[in-house]
Structure 1
């Protein structure tokens, strides 16, 4: 299996990846094909696919914010079961991230990730892949060390219509021993930076950020 970076929508592997995203994720979570052109060319956004015999069988995207000393796992898709694709993507992504951090000479505080809360949203089928079932994915994140932030989370739709997307938790994997809370200012700054690309945002999102800016810290809870 090969771990291959995608940097242009002209790459034939990207079409396979985008089709896989549409099969697995609900529409509001998938950026339109042509709108990927800019992000893929951004050196700070790292998109990789797992390729087995010419077929894209999984993919992951993440970004590293050197100034904030945090990273974000945008998504991970395991497109086939029973092939070890999940561990392969996680290990390759971590190695790539740690290499980037080492180049900067800074400390990596932690990594954010959004995860569906199946207790709030139950109707998504995620392409019929049991490995992408939200209960399974939450357990995987928990085993990796992620914990959810203690806040009512909402994010803007990637369909760029300004609608609010509910039913997810914002999680954080710490790389500092004994860290049981995240500075609220860091969370707010991260969210404003991460979603700056979406011009239309719901009022619920702005209210959430304002509440974060009024807090000192956000406790990390078990998923």
Structure 2
């Protein structure tokens, strides 16, 4: 299996990745083909695929904020069972992020991720691909070391329609297992930066941010 970064919509692997996304995610969660041009060319974003026998069988998108020294996993797709795709992507992503942080003169502090909570919302099918089942994914991410930030989380809809999206937890993978809380200021800075591209955020999101700004720390809990 190969780990390949995609930097252009002209790359034949991107077409295969986009088709895989359409198989796995609901239509409203898949960015239109042409709108991928800028994200792919952005030096602060990595879009990488797992290639097996010429086919894209997995993909992950992530980013690293040099000033905050934290990363964010935007998504991970496992297209087939039985190939070890999840472990392969997780290892390659972490190797890349550690090198990225080292080039920034730092040791990576950790990585955020939004994780579906199927115990609250059960309608996520993910194309019927069993490794993408939310119950499976949640347990795997727990095994990897992700922890849930202890506050009610909402995020703005990527449709930029001002709707609040619930049914997810904001989680964090600390590189140091002894870390059991985060500075609230770090969480606020990250969320404001990550969602700066959306101009139409819901009232519930602003209220969440205001509540976080009254705290010093946010506990990290098991998932």
**Superposition TM-score, scaled by structure 1 size:** 0.96
Q: Distance in 2 between matches of 1:124 and 1:175?
A: 29
Give the aligned partner of residue 144 of structure 2: 144
Partner SS for 2:76: strand
Runs (4 or more) in structure 1 with deviation over 3 Å come to: none
- Give unmatched runs, 5+ long, in structure 1: none
Deviation at 1:60, TM superposition (A): 0.4
Kept in 2, the 8 Å contact 1:51–1:57? The answer is yes
Deviation at 1:95, TM superposition (A): 0.8
Give the aligned partner of residue 42 of structure 1: 42
Aligned length in residues: 223
Give the aligned partner of residue 124 of structure 2: 124
Partner SS for 2:75: strand
The reply to whether residue 15 of structure 1 matches residue 15 of structure 2 is yes
Instruction: Kindly provide the CA deviation profile for residues 135-179 of structure 1, in whole angstroms up to 9, marking residues without a partner as x.
Output: 100111111100000011111112222221110001001123421
The reply to whether residue 64 of structure 1 matches residue 64 of structure 2 is yes
The residue correspondences of 1:1-223 to structure 2 (distance < 5 A) are: 1-223=1-223
Kept in 2, the 8 Å contact 1:27–1:159? The answer is no
Partner SS for 1:198: coil
Q: Distance in 2 between matches of 1:126 and 1:218?
A: 31
Tell me whether 97-106 or 21-30 shows the greater mean CA deviation.
21-30
Partner SS for 1:143: helix
Q: Distance in 1 between matches of 2:51 and 2:196?
A: 31
Kept in 2, the 8 Å contact 1:79–1:129? The answer is yes
Kept in 1, the 8 Å contact 2:5–2:48? The answer is yes
Deviation at 1:42, TM superposition (A): 0.6
Deviation at 1:34, TM superposition (A): 2.0
Q: Distance in 1 between matches of 2:166 and 2:34?
A: 25
Kept in 2, the 8 Å contact 1:153–1:166? The answer is yes
Tell me how large the CA RMSD over aligned residues is.
1.2
Q: 1:205 to 1:32 in 2, by over 3 A?
A: farther
**Superposition TM-score, scaled by structure 2 size:** 0.96
Q: Distance in 1 between matches of 2:177 and 2:222?
A: 16
Q: 1:184 to 1:27 in 2, by over 3 A?
A: farther
